[in-house]
Structure 1
Amino acid sequence: MVSSGDLSEPSKPPVWQPLTFGGVAGFARVRWTRLLLLQGIVAALVAVNVVLLLGRGWFPVVTQAVQGLNDFGAVRGARLAWPAKEAVVLAENRFLGLVVDLEESGGTGQIADLQIEFSRERIKVVSLLGYTSLPYPGGVEIELNRQTLDPWWNAWRPAFMFGGAFGTMLFLFASWSALAVLYAVPVRVLAWFAGRAASPGKSWRVAAAALLPG
């Protein structure tokens, strides 16, 4: 004889992973807090990788460049005043390169994924995807010598590290939220065709969970 307990539906497993179709769909029936917790874990992992990139890839280059500066160098009147006309590599590795090239001759070449070039009237940011440039700010005098920049960089380096981690997490949460609003529309349409009830909140959670793996 089968008891009434045997006829009850088996309990569904807890929802934690968004790596399969079933795992993603399961977020439609969980609380918002579980999705937020998982988003926080993923964002923290990405932020750790950003901190490692900054600490091991970029910041050592900046430190070497600052320590190698001479006693003269400044931005005055939206122009860079530099003691030498020849292009020079201040510091570089395969991640970041810092170059002073007043005449934009390109004589230093590029081995870094991202290279920042200081020319006479602008800053060029060159990457594998192309380049963009920014003019020096007018009406502001910026000292570019070791005596000024070395203590400033040592004091603010931890803040830049924290800012990189916090900014990464903030960007991820903002982009996930915005993209989930867009992707929730096709999720709800598919649920309607499948004959499933899907409220806007459930559709948003499914769309947000689907974004976490990549």
Structure 2
Amino acid sequence: MTATTPDAPTPAGSSHQRRKAERPSELLDAALQLFVEKGFAATKTEDIARLAGVSKGTLYLYYTSKEDLLREVISQRVSTRIADGMARAAAHEGSATELMRTLLVDWWTQTLESDASGVFKLVVSEVRNFPEIGALWTDEVALPGSQLIGSMIQRGIDSGEFRPVDVHCVVHSIVLPLVMLCVHRHSLGACDCPGMSMEPQDFIRAHIDLVLRGLAAHPQP
């Protein structure tokens, strides 16, 4: 008779453990998809559980409510990206122009190409009915994101690369068109509307280039 080692995990057990580890992310994916498609109010927790392939009881093992899911969607899909941007900005040793061009183009392109872009549409469409979403968005995204972009602009002013400007206004001039680009992707961009299609990456690059040329203290011909 061959001796067995009871402590050794079976392949099925390993697969089960991997499945459990992936479950929170799968629930967030399902929640975000339904929040964007149906709206926050119309989405039920049982719908989220069904789309994620689990029971409603299993969902509550990971998230206590629909609001908890929304909080984690914003945190995991957007807030963590801003934190990564802050780390990149802190480590950058080149010019403010180079930093803004690479960081902003990369950040917004990656956001637009991921499901994170749906969070912007969700917030814009739901904030009037759910003010708590606005408060959460302000604390988790709007203020940290504005501070990050504002710090890069101020860095360029201090170094003499950028002319003196109202930093707060420039931050909004940068961000608002890009927010609308994300909203467009999940509204008109999701429909086959003649004349409404665009190449998002080209828009992002052109927009950031336009802003940087406007900020330049000594514009190049």
TM-score range (shorter-chain normalised) is under 0.3
> TM-score scaled by structure 1?
0.26
Q: Which has the higher helix share?
A: 2
Q: Which has the higher strand share?
A: 1
> TM-score scaled by structure 2?
0.25
